[in-house]
C-alpha cells in the first residue's frame, strides 16, 4: 500500500511567497540551503510577502556532485520589518 504524499498544510505557501520570489529587502545568508522547518516559522512571522532564492558563487560548477555547496541562500522580504524580525528570531544554521 502506498502512503499519501500530501504535503502538510504547514508547508503550503501562497502563490506570491516562496521559492524564487524576490523582493526589495534581502538577507544573503552564509548557508547553501533553507531548512524545511524554517518555512512555517518564517511564514508565521512575516506580515508581508517573502521568499528565497540562491546566489551562486563565481566558482560554481554544476557538474560537481557538491555543486549546491557553492551558493548562498538569500531570504527576500517585501517588508524591512519582517527581515529584521526573522533575522532576530531564527538560527539559520539549524
Q: What tens digit of pLDDT does each residue of 13-60 get?
A: 999 999 999 999 999 999 999 999 999 999 999 999 999 999 999 999
Cell matching residue 5: 504524499
Max alpha carbon distance in the chain (Å)? 48
Cα(6)–Cα(31) distance, integer angstroms: 28
- Sign of the C-alpha dihedral computed for residues 10, 93, 24 and 78 taken in this order: positive
Q: Tell me how far apart the alpha carbons of residues 13 and 43 are, in angstroms, rounded to a whole number.
A: 8
3-state secondary structure at position 19: strand
In angstroms, the CA 25 to CA 15 distance is 19
Please state the rounded mean pLDDT for residues 86-94.
94
Amino acid at each position: 500500500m502506498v502512503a499519501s504524499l500530501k504535503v502538510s498544510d504547514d508547508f503550503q505557501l501562497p502563490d506570491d511567497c516562496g521559492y524564487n520570489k524576490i523582493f526589495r529587502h534581502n538577507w544573503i545568508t552564509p548557508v547553501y540551503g533553507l531548512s524545511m522547518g524554517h518555512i512555517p516559522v518564517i511564514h508565521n512571522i512575516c506580515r508581508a510577502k517573502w521568499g528565497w532564492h540562491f546566489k551562486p558563487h563565481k566558482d560554481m560548477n554544476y557538474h560537481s556532485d557538491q555543486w549546491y555547496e557553492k551558493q548562498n541562500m538569500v531570504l527576500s522580504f517585501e517588508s524591512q520589518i519582517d527581515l529584521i524580525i526573522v533575522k532576530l528570531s531564527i538560527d539559520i544554521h539549524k
